[in-house]
Structures are given as C-alpha cells and as structure tokens.
Amino acid sequence: MRKPILFISVFMASASLQMPLACSSPAGEEVSAEKILVEVGDSALTVREVVSRIPSGLSEQDSLDLFNSIVERWVRTMMLSDLASDNIADLEKIDRMAEDYRNNLIIERYLRSKQGEIPAVSEQSVKMYYAEHGSEMKLSAPIIKGIYIKVADSEERLGDIRKWMSSPTSSAIDNIEKYGLRQASQYEYFKDEWLDWADVAEQIPYRFYDADAFLGSARDFETSYGGSTYILHVFDYLPTGSVMPYEYASRRIADMMEREQKADYRIRLLTSLYSKSIEEGRLKPGLYDPVKRKMRQEVASDNENKNKKRT
C-alpha cells in the first residue's frame, strides 16, 4: 500500500495538512513535495522528507499529528545544535563521546548476537563450585521460607484465614487456596524456596527495624493498613552471616559463572577477529600488538634498555 502523500500549506500560520496529492496556497500556488517547510542555517527540511517518515494506514488526524511532531523535533534539534555550536567550546570532545557511544552500541549488539554460541552453565559445574567455595558464601541479610497473603479487612472468612495461616498444614493450605484467594490481592507460597527477607518485607506496610531480631522471635505476623490485612507465616529462616544453602546459592553461582563465561567468550571472540583481520591485512599492528593486548616485545625491550642507560 502506498504512503499517503501529505502536503503542508504554505500559509504557515495555520500549519494545516491536506490529504490530496497537491494543494493550493491562498495565492493559487501549488505546494509540491519539494517545498521547503523550514530552514535552519544551511539545512532545510522538505515536505517529501517528512512524508517519507509517515507510515501508511494512519488516519488524517494521526498523519497530521505525526507530521507536526516530526517537523517540531527537526526544528528543535537543528536550532539547539546550531546554538550549542556557537556557545559550547568543547565540541570536539562531544563529537568524540557521541562517536564512542555509537561504536559501543554497535559492538555490544554484535557481541550479543554471538552470545547464543556460549554453552549454558551446567548444574554439575555449579555443584563443584559450591563444594569448593560454599563455606565462604555468607548471607548479607536474612532469608526465609514461608507463606504470605493480603486480603481485604471485609473478607468474610478472615478469621478462618488467620487460623489456616497460623497452622499451615496441607489441608489448611488447600483451604486457603480454595476459599481465601477469592478476595486475596496478594498470595505467595514459598515453603520450598528461600527468598530474601527484604523482598517479602517490602510488600508489607510495616517497618521491621531489626530483621534478624524479628525473625528470631516470631513465626507469625499480622498487620492492617488501608483496608487490607497482611498475614505472614515463616516456616524457616537463616540469619545474617549464615552460610548460604545450596538451593539459594546455586542461582548466584550460575549467574556469576555465566557472566565469567560471557567475558571469556568476548575476549576469545575479539582475539579471533583481530587475528583474522591481521591475516587479511585489514588490521596492521604497529608498536602495539592487539592480539596480545600489549606493546610488542621488541618495543618494550628497547624502552627498558633506554631506561637502564639513563640510570
């Protein structure tokens, strides 16, 4: 489907768009697609340039809005760039920063496209790491296993929910999930999973000043706020400074090993690209060896000899 050709009236005060292929100005002059909309310095924006950026299928009003938005952004960008060029002294540095940012985006996109070739971290390697370093992995904050629910104060079976939450047997959990969840706005059952205490506590509108002291003295907690009741039951917890259990540490070990694998892979990939480019003549090392990432040995030796002579 062809894009609709839009033209802006030369009567700039109205800045209105017309849908036909061409329109006439108040003086009877036809507005062509090459008509200049606005100029800033030596740069000019034409109707054709703006129309080429408007997708087909838009309504007349949407096309008009997008047209005006494109023109306004162009004017703003060109004007500010022009003014900045006259008032900012360090433009070369800004240009270098913009170029570096662009190059880094290109590099990151390319490297990310190659990361599918990185093998996944195996469970066996995670277990081996934990067996060797697990005793060194200490908790910086408490973790818990529990069950949490948030229900309206008006919940008819709130009394039953309190009872089920304080003694969460299998049948009690079934009752909670059968009856209590009808009006529950939040519910989380994590008896078999360690969670950070902070992640659970932030859902409850109560200030727990000392997490370790609280968890060491309470298994059940309830508070009300804003028309809702918050109930928490703690099955188990580990205080700050404890050795991380494997099921909690394994996720962190896997993430760490994955980051290391990606970093190693990037180094190998870049080394391979450098070597191939040198063979093809696209990359020509001088005093610096890009493959070894250091000054070439003969250069380093010459510098060392010169320093010895000076002393």
Residue 209 predicted with pLDDT over 60:
yes
Q: How far apart are the first and last CA of the chain?
A: 79
Q: Record the tokens describing residue 269, joined without a space.
A: 């990939």
* Residue that has been written with the tokens 């061409």 in this structure: 22
- Average pLDDT taken over every residue of the chain: 83
Alpha-carbon gap, residue 126 to 197, rounded angstroms? 24
Beta-ladder partners of 223: 230
State mean pLDDT over 281-297. 84
pLDDT at 301: 57
Which of the pair, 303 or 233, is modelled with greater confidence? 233
- 0.75 surpassed by pTM: no
DSSP 138-151: B-SS-EEEEEEEEE
The pLDDT-based confidence of 300 (bands split at 50, 70, 90) is: low
- Residue by residue, DSSP assigns 73-95 as HHHHHHHHHHHHHHH-S-HHHHH
- Would you say 136 and 249 are in contact if contact means Cβ atoms under 8 Å apart? no
Q: pLDDT tens, 170-200?
A: 999 999 988 878 778 899 999 999 999 999 9
Is residue 273 a contact partner of residue 251, using CB atoms and an 8 Å limit? Answer: no
Predicted local confidence at residue 303, as pLDDT: 55
Report pLDDT for 305: 56
Tens digits of per-residue pLDDT, 109-118?
A: 887 787 777 7
Of 10-19, 31-40, 60-69, 218-227, which gets the smallest average pLDDT?
10-19
Domain segments of the chain as ranges: 7-87, 136-238, 246-310
Placement of tokens 């050795």 in the chain: 243
Top pLDDT among 281 and 293 is at: 281
pLDDT at position 293? 79
